[in-house]
Amino acid sequence: MATKLVVDCSTGITTEVELTDEEVAQREADAAAWAVELAEREAQATAKAEAKASAEGKLAALGLTADEIAALIS
């Protein structure tokens, strides 16, 4: 069972208690929310990398050298 350490700042006493059902449910929701957020960031990063590769390909097709393309995008 997952637990929580709680220190009472008025007494300095620390107690260990089990997470409530509500807290467990919140953790599960938090884990799901992080997974969604991570997937969104990875999708954005992939899209950005693909767009960059596409743009570089189009510049190369126009006759720019690799050094010229690097100079443009750096």
Partner 1 sequence: MAVTYQLIETITVGSGGAASIAFASIPQTYTDIKVVMSLRASDTATQILLSLNGSTSNFSARFLIGDGSTVQTGTLARYVGASTPSSFTASTFGNAELYIPNYAGSANKSYSADAAVETNATGAYLTFVAGLWSDTSAITSLTLTGNTGNFVQYSSASLYGIKNS
- Provide the binding-site residues for partner 1, judged by CB under 8 A: 2-12, 14, 16, 19, 23, 26-27, 30-31, 33-34, 37, 40-41, 44-45
> By three-state DSSP, how is residue 53 classified?
helix
Can you tell me the distance from the alpha carbon of 7 to that of 28, in angstroms, rounded to the nearest whole number? 24
Q: CB of 56: closest distance to partner 1 in angstroms?
A: 18
> By three-state DSSP, how is residue 7 classified?
strand
Measured in residues, the chain has a length of 74
Of residues 16 and 67, the one with the C-beta less far from partner 1: 16
Of residues 27 and 58, the one with the C-beta less far from partner 1: 27
